[in-house]
Amino acid sequence: MFDIMGGMKTPTPTTGGVFGEDASAKVLAEELADRYNRISDDDLEASIVELKQHIDAQHADLLLRVAEYHRRDLGQLRHFLSTVGWVKQALRLTSAAASSMVRSARSLVAMPLVADSASLGRITPEGVRLLVHARRRHPDEFSVHEEVFADIAQYLDTKDLRRAIEHWEQQIDYPSALAKVKAQYHRRRFSMAQTWDGMWHLSGELDPETGSLVDTAIRSIADRENLAASREDSTDTRYPWQRRADALGDLCSFWLSNSDKIGTSGGSKPTLIVTAGIESILGLKKELPSIDGLVFDPDEMRRIICDSAVVRIILDSEGEPLNVGRQSRTVTPAIRRALDLRDGGCIWNGCDAPPSWCDAHHLIHWVDGGETSLTNMVLLCRRHHRAAHEQSGDPPGEVPP
């Protein structure tokens, strides 16, 4: 354990295993908290800045040492390994990370002015990486302007330094800068796959324009909800990344519900099919509903069927369909238009989501005998609709007459 106030701290003797018993762990936790609680506000602030600068300097020192290791070819002479191979093994890095470190190290020693500032902790590791890439793309031109970069990298943040480098590249080699932008567009990719436990994994890269559009759209929802939660809604316990995930779902739901440009199959728009037995819907049987054969939260199921199309399918003992009833909607278009006009959006106290972002919610669920009528329905945005079902009660706020 490292003590920024006094060097290495001698661990308190413990018993009952490597980490001691719960009582010993509690004592250590209290000592740790007390050690930092005793730091004054000014000293705490100054120590954080100083420690970060020290870490940045150590990062540069590490790269310079790796560069010298490579120059001496010690990996080959001592271990019959390349420098990358030795770094991967000794520092427990992936092949990609080890290769990137060696490339950065070799480039840094070729930038003496940048290396000098970085070794003093005046240029962050992110700044060093940006300058390394700039030099690799334009080695001759970079050597001419290295003094300028070594200076501005000491006070520009990562985003502004990247912009400065991009502007510089346009001035010295516009065709290459244009080719780089076009290459970024062709690199765009997006994929999503369902994992073994039913969750969805998303990965990809977006070009600057598309990425900005997606970021702006998600933040337009998540940031508003972050602000509302900090001001009024103490019941919203979601983390920011959960709000962003929900915002992505809201965007997709909005598109499917409101766009007239969606293709159809068999006369129907793309549909999310939820399978649930009537006994589980009524709460008479403990059975989880499913989507594409994968089970999910039954509270979510009740929210979904609040405002959806319902089809009755009678199955035999072996699961084969015997009878398929007509599709019926729990909320008719006429009732929905009336709700939009009456409520004007989500009725949850403090929420300003417009009607187009809302679901129609039954105050008394229709599977419990509640009517699909204006007097028994209100508009709730997706988040507050979910909250209403989790609370199993009326949503906070005054229900319009």
User: How wide is the angle at C-alpha 13 spanned by C-alphas 12 and 19, nearest 5°?
Assistant: 90
Q: 173 with 230, same domain?
A: no
DSSP per residue, 69-94: HHHHTHHHHHHS--HHHHHHHHTT--
In this predicted model, what pLDDT tens digit does every residue of 274-300 receive, in sequence order? 666 666 666 666 767 666 656 666 666
Q: 152 with 74, same domain?
A: yes
Percentage of the chain exceeding pLDDT 70? 71
Instruction: Identify the domain boundary among 139, 159, 184.
Output: 184
Q: Is residue 147 part of a domain?
A: yes
Q: 207 with 282, same domain?
A: no
The confidence score (pLDDT) of residue 169 equals: 92
Q: 162 with 203, same domain?
A: no
Q: Is residue 224 part of a domain?
A: yes
Instruction: Identify the domain boundary among 164, 184, 204.
Output: 184
Q: 206 with 229, same domain?
A: yes
In this predicted model, what pLDDT tens digit does every residue of 355-396 receive, in sequence order? 888 888 888 877 677 787 888 889 998 888 888 877 754 454
Alpha-carbon distance of 199 to 79, in angstroms, equals 44
**Residue type present at position 57:** A
363 contact partners, CB below 8 Å, separation of at least 6: 370, 376, 377, 378, 394, 399
Q: Is residue 318 part of a domain?
A: yes
Compute the average pLDDT of residues 43-49. 93
Q: 281 with 248, same domain?
A: no
Compute the average pLDDT of residues 187-198. 88
Burial of 145: CB neighbours in 10 Å, binned 0-12, 13-18, 19+ = middle
The confidence score (pLDDT) of residue 118 equals: 97
Q: Is residue 55 part of a domain?
A: yes
Q: 317 with 218, same domain?
A: no
Q: Is residue 283 part of a domain?
A: yes
For residue 356, the enclosing domain spans 274-391
In this predicted model, what pLDDT tens digit does every residue of 113-124 receive, in sequence order? 999 999 999 999
Number of structural domains found in the chain: 3
Q: 252 with 282, same domain?
A: no
Element housing 367 (H / E): none
The dihedrals phi and psi of 282, each to the nearest 5 degrees, come to -80, -5
Q: Which of 9-23, 167-181, 289-303 has the lowest mean pLDDT?
A: 9-23
Q: Is residue 10 part of a domain?
A: no
Alpha-carbon distance of 18 to 186, in angstroms, equals 53
In this predicted model, what pLDDT tens digit does every residue of 86-97 receive, in sequence order? 999 999 999 999
**Higher per-residue pLDDT: 68 or 222:** 68
pTM: 0.57
Question: How long a stretch of residues is the chain?
Answer: 401
Instruction: Identify the domain boundary among 151, 184, 217.
Output: 184
Q: How many CA atoms lie within 13 A of 250 on its CB side?
A: 28
149 contacts 160 by C-beta, under 8 angstroms: no
Q: 57 with 172, same domain?
A: yes
236 contacts 383 by C-beta, under 8 angstroms: yes
User: How wide is the angle at C-alpha 81 spanned by C-alphas 80 and 83, nearest 5°?
Assistant: 135
Alpha-carbon distance of 134 to 147, in angstroms, equals 14
Nearest C-alpha neighbor of 104 from the set 80, 123, 78: 123
Q: 254 with 331, same domain?
A: no
Q: Enumerate helices (H) and strands (E) in the chain, giving the number of each.
A: 16, 13
Q: 176 with 218, same domain?
A: no
